[in-house]
Amino acid sequence: MATSAGNRVFGKRSQPHVVILARGDKIRHMTVHPWMAAVAFCFVGVMAIGYLGATTYLVFRDNLIGASMARQARMQHDYEDRIAALRAQVDRVTSRQLLDQQVVEEKVEKLLEQQMALSSRHGRLGALLDRAEAVGQLPTSVPVPNEKPGATGKQANLSGGLDAIENLLGRKTASDTPPTDKSGQTPSAALGYVPLTDTAADRSDRLFSHMTLSLKDIERDQINRVQKLADGASETAEEISGILRRNGIPLDQADKASSMDAIGGPYVAPRTAEAFNTSLNELDAALSRLENVRATAIRMPFANPAPGREITSRFGNRPDPFFGGLAMHAGIDFRSPVGGEIHATGSGKVVNAGPSGGYGNMVEIDHGLGFSTRFGHMSKILVKVGDEISAGDVIGYSGNTGRSTGPHIHYEVRRNGEAVDPMQFLNAGMKLTTLID
Boundaries of every domain in the chain: 122-259+273-299, 311-436
- Whole-number mean pLDDT of the chain? 75
Q: What pLDDT, on the 0 to 100 scale, is given for residue 7? A: 53
Q: Which of 6-20, 141-155, 202-216, 326-340 has the highest mean pLDDT?
A: 326-340
pLDDT of 173 strictly over 50: no
| 311-436: CATH superfamily | Glucose Permease (Domain IIA) (2.70.70.10)
Q: 298 or 273, which is more confident?
A: 298
369-382 in b/e burial notation, b at 16+ Cβ within 10 A? bebbbbbbbbbebe
Q: What pLDDT, on the 0 to 100 scale, is given for residue 350? A: 95
CA–CA gap between residue 406 and residue 335 (Å, rounded): 9
pLDDT of 198 strictly over 60: no
pLDDT of 397 strictly over 90: yes
Mean pLDDT of 128-144: 55
pLDDT of 191 strictly over 60: no
Mean pLDDT of 114-118: 73
Mean pLDDT of 377-404: 92
Q: What pLDDT, on the 0 to 100 scale, is given for residue 140? A: 41
Express as a percent the part of the chain with pLDDT over 70. Answer: 71
Give how far Cα 329 sits from Cα of 105, 206, 333, 361, 411, Å.
81, 79, 9, 18, 10
Summarised one tens digit per residue, pLDDT across range 352-369 is 999 988 899 999 999 988
The residues pairing with 364 across neighbouring beta strands, listed in sequence order, are: 352, 374
Phi, psi of 66 (to 5 degrees): -65, -40
Q: Which amino acid is at 364?
A: E
Secondary structure of residue 133 in the 3-state scheme: helix
Q: What pLDDT, on the 0 to 100 scale, is given for residue 245? A: 84
Residue 211 half-sphere exposure toward CB, CA atoms < 13 A: 27
With a CB cutoff of 8 Å and minimum separation 6, the contacts of 268 are: none
Phi-psi region of 391 (alpha: psi -120 to 50; beta: other; left: phi over 0): beta
CA–CA gap between residue 27 and residue 7 (Å, rounded): 28
pTM, two decimals, is 0.54
| Contact predicate 166/204, CB 8 Å | no
Q: Which of 106-120, 188-202, 219-233, 417-431 has the highest mean pLDDT?
A: 417-431
Q: What pLDDT, on the 0 to 100 scale, is given for residue 163? A: 53
